[in-house]
Structure 1
Amino acid sequence: MRKILVVGAGQSGLQLALGLQAHGYEVTLMSNRTADEIRYGRVMSTQCMFHTALQHERDLGLNFWESQAPRMAGIGVSVSGPGAERLVDWVGRLDGYAQSVDQRVKMAGWLDTFAQRGGQLVIHGAAVSDLDYFARVYDLVLVAAGKGELVSMFARDAARSPFTRPQRSLAAAYVHGLGPRPEHPDTEVARCNLVPGVGELLVTSTLTTSGRADLLFWEGVPGGPVDVFQGVTDPAEHLALTLDLMERFVPWEHARTSRVELTDAGGVLVGRYTPVVRQPVAHLPGGGLAFGVADVVVTNDPLTGQGANTASKCAAAYLRAILDHGDAEFDEAWMRRTFERFWAQTAGPATKWTNVMLGEPPEHVLTLIGAAGALPRVADRFANGFDDPADFENYFFEAEKTEAYLSEVAGG
């Protein structure tokens, strides 16, 4: 039986560990926190997962909360004008619904499941010296812990990393009591509110530790009027600031907040990080190798909601590659082939799209977003790009392709 070590108990690490466990591998999982420490701690992310990523969970029988989590049937896009009026407002329908489960719920539940199924769980914050030892004991060492000392082992890939500083300041609040959008009161929709030059407000429904909730997530341009959450430690102050900014820049969303309250004292999150792509293989001091997983090697800004989706797709791709490899050695050539396949099919398209959306939108992209309000086929295709960013290559990035696509749709 092959022995595999997975370091990190997030979306990718746990999904991969549970998948390997189900296929008979001897898996050790290292987490720096217990299930209860995760469950009763602070929120960790603003996850919204689309059909393909959700299907990977279903395939492994890990969709424990699918019947409870709200089902988002579409993606709504609004663009604010100089006077905080809505210049654009439309909804694109998803082919398969999206869902969000607070990672405190999911990761704690999956961690318990791994242990209950007989997996070896080690509660320990791994260091490079630990991995140096483990690389001699295990057939494969997978690093899925996207923060801390271990990440520094994986060198930055300058050719794939155009940014050297954060592109957005991030501030999220989990809330109860948000009212429905009057345009579709009976339909759950993930909302993307774009405020040019200021940032974005993303609103999604989720399942948290206290039941159904909504996420209010500001992405502020650094140095701009939304970049004001650093140093705010009081959750109530965080929520008040969130709502004030909504009233100022997206009043149509603020109109839904008259009964809003935080889900819990740990229901706020503030941060910023630089999007980066890293080399997938780390060389340990003793000569062993570690293979980077998901956001260890590809970290995108959460603006386009690709983080948890890319992590799930990475876990699925690595699982298939491990199974297909049989008893052969997990050498550096295999690791690099496996990553490059994942990059070409999944991470590369998601990274390219996210990086474009972080910048000043080109004129043809603004035209496309505006046209989607009158052309439901365009709105639907854009919405489904959140599930399959590779499709944007066909009509989004180049003005000529955008013009040809809009002409085709309008003509039809």
Structure 2
Amino acid sequence: MSRKILVVGAGQSGLQLALGLQTQGYEVTLMSNRTADEIRSGRVMSTQCMFHTALQHERDLQLNFWESQAPRIEGLGVSVAAPGSHAPGPTQRAIDWVGRLDGFAQSVDQRVKMAGWMETFAQRGGQLVIHGAAVSDLDYFSRTYDLVLVSAGKGELVSMFGRDAQRSPYTEPQRALAVAYVHGMGVRPEHPDFDAVRCNLVPGVGELFVMPTLTTSGRADILFWEGIPGGPLDAFKGVKDPSEHLALTLELMEKFTPWEYARATKVELTDANGTLAGRYAPTVRNPIGRLPSGGAVLGVADVVVANDPITGQGSNSASKCAAAYLAAIVERGDKPFDEEWMQSAFDRYWDTAQHVTKWTNTMLQAPPEHVLNLIGAAGQLQPAADRFANGFNDPSDFENFFYEPEKTAAYLGSLTGQ
């Protein structure tokens, strides 16, 4: 007798879980509010760059369909604008380096990936229901399934999961987000022979991320501004026209990150749906959602742990959450998926997610002196640059050298022989 599982939400975690459960012989129903075609032809949903561990979870399920087409990202670079240098005259860089990743990273536009995965799920005999689920729907479904997983990170369903105040230091959004997918980006002259995600920090203003990606029309780059609310980058709120959005993106690049603007002078949008703007407060929620009838559902990925994208962890965390939950479900055998089990499944994911949340919330603050020293030293000490870059794959390593001035000093001392 195969167990019946309902997955609500067809993002990275929902689809990865649904496809993984399918291979294990579960009877899986997937609810999505859009068809594969609607996703593919719709608006970009995210920025995403997945590092080695998250990509390996996809490979383990043989879902790495685009691996040969997507750019191989072999580095992660950091540039820091010299404080106050953007007024007047061009901004200078105080820091500029690139770290090498141990295992390459990749970015696949979620329109490409989610549409492709959804079609695969249906081809493999999965039950696909195109319907935006409300809480009342879940009340009904919870009686007919052994387990209901909620992985739709926006909308009404999230309200079923209470905020965990102890793990959520912020009540307001910490950044205003603005994304543009473009063709025609030039290479960074510092490393023309390999691709890297570039993180550009403008102290007191915000951050610009540039990442190579694969989109519906092939190779592209993502230009992603994170602006401190109320500051000069918080300028996209009323902008509806995509070309106006790109023009503003480039204008801000010219002012605050001229070294990135220099390779963006010939860019154009990948498509009319290639822009996105918004903001949300980073929040950790209780993993168990209560239904009016008394039933319980389990929250997945950013339903329960939503971090700001400043550290590029969203899709990585979603992949890691799906992998943790899949293992917990399979290990459960035919025992009931009760609330105690739900909490333990979440705790297993929190083992990795807690490090992401701590690091991300730290990066949203102005960096303390010892962190600036570390980032500065990485320009002279390649092992420090490489270690920082690889922290994006395994953020738990930051505990060893990043948060405490003593540990940072000891680590840098070990590299310089002092």
Matching of residues 236-385 of structure 1 within 5 Å: 236-344=243-351, 346-385=352-391
| Aligned-partner SS, 1:9 | coil
Are 2:96 and 1:95 equivalent residues in the alignment? no
Deviation at 1:285, TM superposition (A): 1.0
1:45 positional shift = 0.2
Between the aligned partners of 1:205 and 1:252, the Cα distance in structure 2 is 17
Measure, in 2, the Cα distance between the counterparts of 1:338 and 1:258: 48
Q: Hey, what does 2:237 align to over in structure 1?
A: 230
After TM superposition, the structure 1 = structure 2 runs for residues 171-182 of structure 1, keeping only pairs within 5 Å, are 171-182=178-189
Deviation of 1:392 (Å)? 0.3
Correspondence for 1:165: 172
Q: Distance in 2 between matches of 1:333 and 1:224?
A: 45
Q: C-alpha distance in 2, partners of 1:142/1:40?
A: 26
Letter in 2 for 1:270: A
C-alpha deviations, 1:96-140, integer Å up to 9, x for none?
001000000000000000000000000000011111111110000
What residue is the counterpart of 1:219 in the other structure?
Answer: 226
Amino acid in structure 1 at the alignment position of 2:4: K
In the alignment of these two chains, the number of paired residues is 411
- Give the TM-score normalised by structure 2: 0.98
Cα deviation digits, residues 205-228 of structure 1 (max 9, x gap): 000000000000000000000000
Q: Cα deviations across residues 364-394 of structure 1 (Å, max 9, x unaligned)?
A: 0000000000000000000000000000001
Aligned residue for 1:392, secondary structure, equals helix
Matches within 5 A, 1:116-131: 116-131=123-138
SS in 2 for 1:402: helix
The unaligned stretches of length 5 or more in structure 1 are none
Matched residue of 1:352: which SS? helix
Residue segments in structure 2 that go unaligned for 5+ positions in a row: 86-90
CA distance in 2, matches of 1:93, 1:222: 32
- 3-state SS of the aligned residue for 2:252? helix
Amino acid at match of 1:72: I
Is 1:135 aligned with 2:135? no
Output the CA distance in 2 between the equivalents of 1:235 and 1:130: 36
CA apart distance, 1:324: 0.5
Report the residue type matching 1:144 in the other structure. S
Q: Please give the per-residue CA displacement for 1:14-72, whole angstroms capped at 9, x wherever unaligned.
A: 00000000110000000000000000000000000000000000000000000000011
Distance in 2, Cα, partners of 1:398 & 1:337: 30
Aligned residue type for 2:144: V
Question: SS of the counterpart of 2:128?
Answer: strand
Q: Distance in 2 between matches of 1:154 and 1:182?
A: 47
- The yes-or-no answer on 1:37 pairing with 2:44 is no
Letter in 1 for 2:167: R
Post-superposition Cα deviations, 1:141-161, rounded to whole Å, max 9, x if no partner, equal: 000000010000000000000
Q: Give the superposition deviation at 1:287.
A: 1.5
Counterpart code for 2:359:
W
Q: Distance in 1 between matches of 2:221 and 2:416?
A: 36
> Using the alignment, how far apart are the partners of 1:331 and 1:107 within structure 2?
30
Structure 1 counterpart of 2:77? 76
The residue identity in structure 1 corresponding to 2:377 is: A
Counterpart position of 2:211: 204
Q: How far apart are 1:342 and its partner, in Å?
A: 1.1
Extract structure 1 runs of 4+ deviating beyond 4 A.
Answer: none
One-letter identity of the residue aligned with 1:331: D
- Aligned mates of 1:343, 1:394 — CA distance in 2: 19
Residue 340 (structure 1) shift: 1.2
| SS state at 1:390 partner | helix
Q: Using the alignment, how far apart are the partners of 1:23 and 1:90 within structure 2?
A: 44
